[in-house]
Structure 1
């Protein structure tokens, strides 16, 4: 869900795939990124709310992704560090 900065009005709502828990959001590359506890990374267009990307990381994730130096870093529940460009 995105809210207007000045008025708090709802700008858009994105319906995410069913998951027990989501971590994030992180804003990077005009995308709002969230990752599910089952390891589904989802990118949502920050302006319109359309889901633009889904990546199955094939591992459990419970920590919010970190973006630095043009890469996204995701720490899996098994302590594997995943780096994405």
Structure 2
């Protein structure tokens, strides 16, 4: 059984988002991930700027390029 000590909650940071202005649509997107056209990806309505407390994004490590194998390597 997991205890509260076993489960670590991610730290939430205030993050800029774009939120759909249509009251029937609940879509939002991180500002840094938006395409710049400021149209809702779901209903194509207008988007407005807002803030939301979200976990920080994890940056993926770029894989190191492989060295070409030579015929002398064993």
Give TM class, smaller chain. under 0.3
TM score, norm. by length of structure 1:
0.23
Which structure is richer in relative contact order (CA contacts within 8 A, separation 6 or more)? 2
TM score, norm. by length of structure 2:
0.25
Return the index of the structure with the highest Cα Rg.
2
Higher-strand-fraction structure = 1
Higher-helix-fraction structure = 2
